[in-house]
Structure 1
Amino acid sequence: MRILWLDINASYSHSSLAIPALHAQLSKSIKDRDIWRVVSGSINKDTTYYLSEISEFSPDIILSTLWLFNHKKVISVLERAKALSPNVRIILGGPEFLGDNRDFLTKNHFTEAIFRGEGEDIFPEFIATIESVRSYSKISGFCYIDEQGVYIDNGIAIVKDFAQLNPPESSPLFDWNKPFVQVETSRGCFNRCSFCISGDERKVDNIPIESLESRFDNILRHNIKEVRILDRTFNANANRAAHLLNLFNKYSPNIQFHLEVHPSLLDKRLREILEDLPSGLLHIEAGVQSFEERVLKSCNRTGSSKDTADGVRFLTSLHKYEIHCDLIAALPHYTYREILNDTMVLIELYPQEIQLEVLKLLPGSELTKNASAFNIKYSPSPPYEALETPWISFNELRLSSALSKILDSYYNNVVWRSCFRSIMVDNRDFLEHFTQHYSNNTPENNINNESRGLYIYNYAILNYQNAVINIILCWMENGLSNRTGPGLLSKQWRFGEQLQNPIFDLEDRNSVYRYVEFGLKRYWFKYTKNSNSYKSILNFIEIL
């Protein structure tokens, strides 16, 4: 059999872990019996590229995994592939199919079957008998429509002994050419968050730490610089998390580990370890979702908002790791006013990144099953975003999306973060008013730091005069254009001028100087001529 795996990802840097994870469970004889081909690319690659690759290989069967981000692209490719090759069999799996699959199979006749759940246990049997049509009819997890038009649903497959699976890296289909690799050290989650597809009753299974060490050694030998730990809550088991953190330390500074923690569950021992680990070893995603207790309770999320805020405060105080925090708009009982307030709380706590996303009603999640009970209206097609709830209107969700873009453009941008935060802290109502303005006047060209700076500068001039100087200083310190916006207020100082330059160095012939007079102060900036960096290397404030 000629088996093709269609691997379409959000970007070039990503690759599907499902392919090698499943393939690694096959015996050598089964692997050698069939001819395998992986066709990889991003959602931005032209559909004709994938069709050309599929046509050239001429597969008997196409397998693919569907997620939120690739759903539409995969379907677009496969329905055309089926039109070109009517005899090709197409079988799909992935998180998009954790719910009821009857409608999908009814509407997408090119799909022979859907697999739901964890596939490692059943994959060897499936591939061994794949030449026979409907050989999977009794295999757990498969859904299909039989010859009589009856929908058959074999439930959801769960791996029995996760720790005993062959690691994905042992498969020749594992892609070592990406900038990072993904590793599951555990599967399942103790938390029962209703908005998450891992919020089911599955028990948590852990891989022994000693076997993980050999895998990380192998990853290091392949010169991989970044490992993304896929555990849903890394610190759910504090003792295990402590052992893993100490193991990660072995690979410093060669590998950085990305992991997701619950900030309310950082106990004394974990805090002490995090304080001692070297800077840059970790990139930490601290799941917040909301600081409102009734919102967390309605979603079955463990942990208090007070402990969560304390955990985030501790992480950001270390000043040694990249800290990413997230909020989810449209959760039950979550209002727009509370989203604004929670965003301000995070801005003051000062993580490196704040992500605000609109709730996605994911197939198979408890919240999706109970959406009608909560009266949550959402898109029936990917990405299944909430459109309105009893607690937040459609217009307020539109404002939330504008706020998300503002955070990405200014707070999550290293050039503007400090400036933006200062403006927010000094003007408690700025965020609300600026978000309203941004939503009503979405910039068409906001793709670089100058256009972003000009947008907020023009808004501040008309509405928040006390914020103007913050923007001017940020503009000048980062060496943005002197020919537009705040740069027009600056003047170049040249040797021999009557105006005294307090930062002039007579021995330094490789620097240029500019200054801005604003209010009762003169701000000086020194730049290096022969440098790839445009940033000022020395600033000085002169009182007039």
Structure 2
Amino acid sequence: MKILLTSLNTKYIHSNIAIRYLKDTVYPKYKCDTIDFTINQNSDEIIFQIIRGKYDIVGFSTYIWNVEMTLEICEKLKLINPNLIIFMGGPEVSFNSKEIIKEHPYVDYIMSGEGEESFLKLLDYVHGERNDLPAGVVTMLDEEVVGNDIYQVVDLQNSEIEYTLDYIKDKKIVYYETSRGCPYNCEFCLSSSTGRVRFYPLERCLKDIKLFLDENVPLVKFIDRTFNFNKERSLTILKYIIDNDNNFTTFHLEIHPQLIDEDYLKLFKNARKDLFQFEVGVQSTNEETCKAIKRVGDFETIKNVCKEIMSFQNIHLHLDLIAGLPYEDLKSLRKSFNDILSIGPDKLQLGFLKVLKGSPIFNKAEQYEIVYDKKSPFEVISTKWISYMELQEVKKIEQMLDKYYNEGYFKNTINYLFENYYSDYYEFFIEIGNYWEENGYLFVNQSRDSLYKILKDFLIEKKFEEIDLLNEILTHDYILTNGKVPWFLNPKKIESGREHDLLRDEVVLEKISEHDVPAKKLIKNYIFIKYDYQIISDFKKEDLVLIYRIKDRKHYDITESWR
């Protein structure tokens, strides 16, 4: 049998670990090919590659973002080759497998839950080596659904799976897990349905991490639902990463701040900058909402821990907020938004409730009067507490948040606006969102330069008294982000002759750590800008001259030498 395991990932830089787990599980008895497609590829291109491979069996790893496209591909594959055996697995088919296989007869088998054990048995069944379907597998027989849809859970301690170069080759992001399951029971999440937390052998995890470090993987994204659930184990892994740091790889971890104590903080404080990224799912600061969804955590404690981590200035902090949860109306959501943003995270991901089959909230949708899209991604449309039009306002906020906060292009400008004009952060994003809508920008792709131009026009329309200062801060942000001069913001460059003189000045050369390099060579690597305000300190109206090194966006105050 020639077998293909595949999935439609969100981006080409991602890789699917599930199909590689299955491949390793059945080897050497069965040899499988793996292909990572993406949802951005043309479906006919994907179908052509599969048909060209002359496979007997094709298995799809299925998720909320790819289920619709996967089913369309499966249907066409079956039309082209009726003898092709197609099976599906993954979270998006694990909780309603009987329903899916009945409605989509071109799918031959569906596996529920973790497939490392059932997949081998399924291949034996297809190959005629066993007479009964394995647990967790359903199929159609004489127009009836047979088999069972019991969610399968495997013992990770006995797993022999180890990462190889094949897992990480040519991938900018490697998804990795040291555990499965979650100790909490958040009602919107499928992890609450998969039982207790189980761990892979620690030795295996350390060996895998060493491979990632040795191979200079850019980003390792742990998919453990709560990485720091087991303190001794997580501290061992964190310390191993720090001790073996290659000064390149970044590790992304989902953590629960309530479990962070002084032992963790000591480690975090001394970690290399950008070695870690932390994601914290706050979701809401409404106590009634958190109680309803069984979200564990006191916001003040979460806030204090997150602020402590932020104070180290070496760890990227990513916080999550979900719109459309029970008991959260627009007023409450606005407060949650402001509460979370007050922490000052590097990124605030504002998402919308997905009513997932298998999650407890799916069974309470009628009780909460949750109206949601019946097709993937099953996103909330309205609830008892928040209307469709109110959620559309929140979607506008989401767009502006991503453009003007999360990307980090406007960090200094936004911080100044927040500190001096907008104590209600939500108010800023709704105002600029309305400005976008009124001027026809909202549904049109905008270049990065356009984002700066639009923000400047917005500030002018708002008639801020400090428009000249704000324009200079915006100029500073642009150069730090783009490494070039934003002429459309009308910056003040100093005379070219003065630039050469300054690059011969010993004080300037000492500041920029450049010696024994002729000024005519250095000039290509630096930008000189004169400001009328002290934009990097107290914002007073006073001359300031900055020199920017283009390659690393570092800047230096050379005002005294300029004078």
1:90 and 2:91 correspond: no
How far the C-alpha of 1:316 sits from its partner, in A, is 1.0
Correspondences of 1:460-499 after superposition (within 5 Å) = 460-463=459-462, 465-466=464-465, 468-469=467-468, 471-477=470-476, 478-479=478-479, 482-484=486-488, 487-488=489-490, 490-494=491-495
Equivalent pair of 2:317/2:347 in contact (CA under 8 Å): yes
Partner of 2:516: none
Equivalent pair of 1:68/1:96 in contact (CA under 8 Å): yes
Partner of 2:121, secondary structure, is helix
Write the distance in 2 (CA, Å) between the matches of 1:199 and 1:439. 39
Partner of 1:315: 309
Partner of 1:143: 138
Partner AA of 1:217 in structure 2: K
Distance change >3 Å, CA 470–CA 153, structure 1 → 2: farther
Equivalent pair of 2:133/2:147 in contact (CA under 8 Å): no
Higher mean C-alpha deviation, range 323-332 or range 448-457: 448-457
Distance change >3 Å, CA 147–CA 474, structure 1 → 2: farther
Distance change >3 Å, CA 73–CA 474, structure 1 → 2: farther
Partner AA of 2:351 in structure 1: E
Write the distance in 2 (CA, Å) between the matches of 1:299 and 1:461. 43
Higher mean C-alpha deviation, range 407-416 or range 239-248: 239-248
Write the distance in 2 (CA, Å) between the matches of 1:289 and 1:123. 36
Correspondent of 2:174 among 174, 181, 185: 181
Partner AA of 1:18 in structure 2: A
Write the distance in 1 (CA, Å) between the matches of 2:305 and 2:550. 40
Write the distance in 2 (CA, Å) between the matches of 1:538 and 1:364. 57
Write the distance in 1 (CA, Å) between the matches of 2:463 and 2:501. 33
**Paired residues, what number?**
526
Structure 1: runs of 5 or more not aligned: none
Write the distance in 1 (CA, Å) between the matches of 2:350 and 2:131. 41
How far the C-alpha of 1:151 sits from its partner, in A, is 5.9
How far the C-alpha of 1:507 sits from its partner, in A, is 4.2
Q: What is the CA deviation profile of residues 337-390 of structure 1, one whole-angstrom value per residue up to 9, with x for unaligned ones?
A: 233333333333212111101111122111112111111110011111100011
Higher mean C-alpha deviation, range 270-279 or range 433-442: 433-442
Write the distance in 2 (CA, Å) between the matches of 1:109 and 1:473. 63
Partner of 2:297: 303
Write the distance in 1 (CA, Å) between the matches of 2:77 and 2:454. 46
Write the distance in 2 (CA, Å) between the matches of 1:381 and 1:231. 27
Partner of 2:363: 369
How far the C-alpha of 1:463 sits from its partner, in A, is 2.1
Partner of 2:51: 55
Write the distance in 1 (CA, Å) between the matches of 2:467 and 2:72. 48
1:294 and 2:288 correspond: yes
Partner AA of 2:157 in structure 1: A
Partner of 1:73, secondary structure, is helix
Write the distance in 2 (CA, Å) between the matches of 1:524 and 1:261. 42
Equivalent pair of 2:371/2:381 in contact (CA under 8 Å): yes
Write the distance in 1 (CA, Å) between the matches of 2:284 and 2:433. 19
Correspondent of 1:420 among 405, 410, 414: 414
Greater relative CO (CA pairs within 8 A, separation 6+): 1
Partner of 1:181, secondary structure, is strand
Write the distance in 1 (CA, Å) between the matches of 2:341 and 2:166. 43
Q: What is the CA deviation profile of residues 17-66 of structure 1, one whole-angstrom value per residue up to 9, with x for unaligned ones?
A: 111212222252x13xx5x3223222112222212211211111110111
Write the distance in 2 (CA, Å) between the matches of 1:248 and 1:136. 47
**What is the TM-score when the length of structure 2 is the normalising length?**
0.85
Write the distance in 2 (CA, Å) between the matches of 1:224 and 1:481. 33
Write the distance in 1 (CA, Å) between the matches of 2:559 and 2:435. 34
1:68 and 2:53 correspond: no
How far the C-alpha of 1:173 sits from its partner, in A, is 5.9
Q: What is the CA deviation profile of residues 45-94 of structure 1, one whole-angstrom value per residue up to 9, with x for unaligned ones?
A: 22222122112111111101111222233223222211111111111011
Partner of 2:20: 20
Partner of 1:430: 428
Partner of 2:511: none
Write the distance in 2 (CA, Å) between the matches of 1:384 and 1:403. 20
Partner AA of 2:428 in structure 1: F
Partner of 1:374, secondary structure, is coil
1:220 and 2:213 correspond: yes
Higher mean C-alpha deviation, range 60-69 or range 430-439: 430-439
Structure 2: runs of 5 or more not aligned: 506-518, 534-538
Distance change >3 Å, CA 148–CA 98, structure 1 → 2: closer
Q: What is the CA deviation profile of residues 191-245 of structure 1, one whole-angstrom value per residue up to 9, with x for unaligned ones?
A: 1001110012601112232332222233334443432222100122223222221
Write the distance in 1 (CA, Å) between the matches of 2:345 and 2:314. 11
Distance change >3 Å, CA 534–CA 123, structure 1 → 2: closer
Partner AA of 1:61 in structure 2: I
Correspondences of 1:275-354 after superposition (within 5 Å) = 275-354=269-348
Q: Over aligned residue pairs, what C-alpha RMSD do you find?
A: 3.0
Distance change >3 Å, CA 495–CA 118, structure 1 → 2: closer
How far the C-alpha of 1:537 sits from its partner, in A, is 5.0
Distance change >3 Å, CA 424–CA 339, structure 1 → 2: farther
Write the distance in 1 (CA, Å) between the matches of 2:305 and 2:500. 42
Partner of 2:183: 190
1:158 and 2:153 correspond: yes
Partner AA of 1:433 in structure 2: E
Identity, % of aligned positions: 23
Partner of 1:92, secondary structure, is strand
Correspondences of 1:438-453 after superposition (within 5 Å) = 438=436, 441-453=440-452
Write the distance in 2 (CA, Å) between the matches of 1:331 and 1:454. 36
Higher mean C-alpha deviation, range 451-460 or range 146-155: 146-155
How far the C-alpha of 1:258 sits from its partner, in A, is 1.3
Partner AA of 1:21 in structure 2: Y
Correspondent of 2:246 among 253, 256, 275: 253
Distance change >3 Å, CA 125–CA 353, structure 1 → 2: same
Equivalent pair of 2:396/2:430 in contact (CA under 8 Å): no
How far the C-alpha of 1:154 sits from its partner, in A, is 3.1
Higher mean C-alpha deviation, range 190-199 or range 249-258: 249-258
